[in-house]
Amino acid sequence: MNNYKHWDLKRDSDNILWLGLDRKDTSVNSINEEVLDELNSLLHEISQDKNALGLIIYSAKEKGFIAGADVNAFSKFETPAQAVDFLRKGQAVFARLQDLKIPSVAMIDGFCMGGGYELALACTYRVASDEKDTRIGLPEVMLGIHPGWGGSVRLPQLIGGFNALSQIILTGSAVHAVKAKSIGMIDDVVPIRQLKRAAIYFIKSKPPKHKPSFIQGLTNSSWMRKPIAALMRHNVAKRVRREHYPAPYAIIDLWEKEGGMGDRAYLKEIDSVEHLVSTGITSKNLIRAFSLRERLKGFAKGSDFNATHVHVIGAGVMGGDIAAWCALRGLRVTLQDQTYAQIAPAIGRAHTLYKKKLRKPRLIQAAMDNLIPDPEGHGIARADVIIEAVFENLVVKQEIMKKVEKLAKKDAIIATNTSSIPLDEMSSVMNNPNRLVGIHFFNPVAKMDLVEVVSSAKTSKTVELDSCAFVNQIGKLPLPVKSSPGFLVNRVLMPYLMECVQLLDEGYSAETIDEAALSFGMFMGPVELADTVGLDVGLAVAENLTGHFGGAVPQKLRDMVKEGKLGRKTGQGFYQYKNGKPVKKQASTPINPHIADRLILRMVNESAACLREGVVADADLLDAGMIFATGFAPFRGGPMNYAKDFGTNNLENLFKTLESKYGERFKVDESL
């Protein structure tokens, strides 16, 4: 029974079969065709076994249960038909698992995602450990598709359609095992030491299978599905548009028609995924974005650096929020500014963040205990990572670097969070300039995944690799970039924001400009984005960049900063803010198509210039930076991918049209 590459089958003294998945050549379990074929053969053998009492499926890896279907394999399919064959195979194998005459248990410890949870759904029972890493979900919607191995059928049957869609499938987010148990996704959650015993109990005792409550079950009935589907569509529409992200709408349509019942529902599930894969670009580009995310995580693998203490200098919005985030991730953090009074607002914001993220008083207090006000800067000498995050003033930053270099441990990372000052200028006062690295976060720190790791010609490779490892340690995505004015993200973003101010100057309303960008697929319009970043910050970066690369800063921006209208933080910028939200009027329609063209092509042109100058290694990484740091329409795959899809001739013609109409700033970059 054991001539299998990825699976290991053993029988214990009670005649219970233990089937462990240990996919070869990967550090985590995921399901490809080979894994499915072997499982199919094993289930055939098991179905012939007259003595077996039950089957327990578990992971033989150190980490996690099953991460889902192999996304890399999925992205390599050349035709929708290949994807459909893969889905049919998975459905057939999981149907065979469900049809076994003996009870089966999925024994889950660690992540159990997508196809991994669909496998668990095909088992009779599911038990999970209460470890903090045990999280269960169906994230397919994040890849522009939805469950295709029976998940859209079995989960509504298990917990009711409303809960299955609104809490799990449409959100794509993973839930902790305790919550999964409370909504019926799993049958029991136990401490890790009792996990095997719990699995054996379910095989021997054969308790009744979980069923949805009467109310939950009612949501699957045909007369309830229509109004619930309408409500869910309304809620989804507040977040994403059908033309940009069709998958959540497709899963609602599928459930409304089929109700998660009968063989036809499984066939329609595959038809729906096939339609998503074969029409439009969303699924292809979201799968690409997933691969880019994995590539960014890979930059942390070149170092085993592990920080325990971080010291942040500057308790303003950025510095305070960086400190708060590091403390949330379990690091000891000392936060320095001139007085306790200047540090106090950052501590207050940290408490608000922890209440939202952690909820439990004990966990909130533990995070607060990690964050220590330190006006005298005692933490510098003890910290593994020191991050300078004061305002953009070269002389002030140089003074800090001189002091930090004297006091810091020899192997500590010395970093700056500057958004635009080249590192060579800052490190010119240091005895050992190869120690300075940029670790550049984006605002708001708690929401933005990407962190630029900035190296000058002098920054040592070890320091760069250690910095990438640190960024990964705090749950962010490191992107190595070259030190040049604005680095990558701000440099590409600034022409986009300046074009937005130009459009305002021409008399377009803020709402019309933002709606044009949202219609293109941006998560936030440029006017609201400028207000969120802060008009004073935008002005400082714009002046720095125009000083290096030419161009003009719109007078309107200078005037607003002079008047103290700095955006969201002052309650007044291009928009007025009420309770932190912009007060918007209706956008004028129809919207001039050139608005989006002007905004996006400024970004595409600057992206091309950055690639030509080697600011970032390649176009894929540039796209990753803009997707994960600015919310550039993920379904379009980033500015360079968008330019490629748009086509060279079309792009050149559009640039020429805009240049003749609006001037020199639309002169196409030679590399395009």
CB atoms within 10 A of CB 294: 11
For 150-200, the pLDDT digits (tens) are 999 999 999 999 999 999 999 999 999 999 999 999 999 999 999 999 999
For 392-450, the pLDDT digits (tens) are 889 999 999 999 999 999 999 999 999 878 899 999 999 999 999 999 999 889 999 99
Of 3.30.465.10, 3.40.980.10, 3.40.50.800, 3.90.226.10, which CATH number belongs to 7-279? 3.90.226.10
In this prediction, residue 52 carries a pLDDT of: 95
Q: Cis before residue 444, ω within 30 degrees of 0?
A: yes
Query: Considering the domain 489-666 in this protein, what is its CATH number?
Result: 1.10.1040.50
For 203-250, the pLDDT digits (tens) are 999 999 999 999 998 999 989 999 999 999 999 999 999 999 999 999
Q: What is the dihedral of CA 568, 624, 477, 535, to 10 degrees?
A: -20
Integer Cα distance of 182 and 188 in angstroms: 9
In this prediction, residue 414 carries a pLDDT of: 98
The fold for domain 303-481 equals Rossmann fold (3.40.50)
For 262-304, the pLDDT digits (tens) are 789 999 999 999 999 988 899 999 999 999 999 999 999 989 9
For 536-553, the pLDDT digits (tens) are 888 988 888 888 888 888
In this prediction, residue 313 carries a pLDDT of: 98
Q: Which residues pair with 438 in a beta bridge?
A: 416, 454
Band of residue 318 on the pLDDT scale cut at 50, 70, 90: very high
Phi, then psi, of 667 in degrees rounded to 5? -70, 125
Integer Cα distance of 134 and 115 in angstroms: 16
Band of residue 2 on the pLDDT scale cut at 50, 70, 90: low
Band of residue 456 on the pLDDT scale cut at 50, 70, 90: very high
In this prediction, residue 547 carries a pLDDT of: 84
For 8-57, the pLDDT digits (tens) are 999 999 999 999 999 998 999 999 999 999 999 999 999 999 999 999 99
For 258-269, the pLDDT digits (tens) are 887 878 999 999
Q: What is the dihedral of CA 534, 537, 539, 542, to 10 degrees?
A: -120
Dihedral sign for Cα atoms in the order 264, 270, 274, 276: positive
In this prediction, residue 231 carries a pLDDT of: 96
User: What secondary structure does DSSP assign to 371-421, as a single string?
Assistant: EEE-TT-GGGGT-SEEEE---S-HHHHHHHHHHHHHHS-TT-EEEE--SSS
Residue 440 bears catalytic tag: yes
Integer Cα distance of 175 and 167 in angstroms: 9
In this prediction, residue 268 carries a pLDDT of: 95
Q: Catalytic: which of 275, 351, 440, 548? A: 440
pLDDT at 1 over 60: no
pTM (2 d.p.): 0.89
- C-alpha angle 191/193/194, rounded to 5°? 70
pLDDT at 75 over 90: no
Cβ neighbours of residue 182 closer than 8 Å, sequence gap 6 or more: none
Q: Are 300 and 476 a contacting pair, CB within 8 Å?
A: no
For 564-605, the pLDDT digits (tens) are 999 998 999 999 999 889 999 987 767 787 999 999 999 999
Domain range summary for the chain, segments of one domain joined by +: 7-279, 303-481, 489-666
Q: What is the dihedral of CA 565, 566, 568, 573, to 10 degrees?
A: 40
Indicate the average pLDDT of the chain: 94
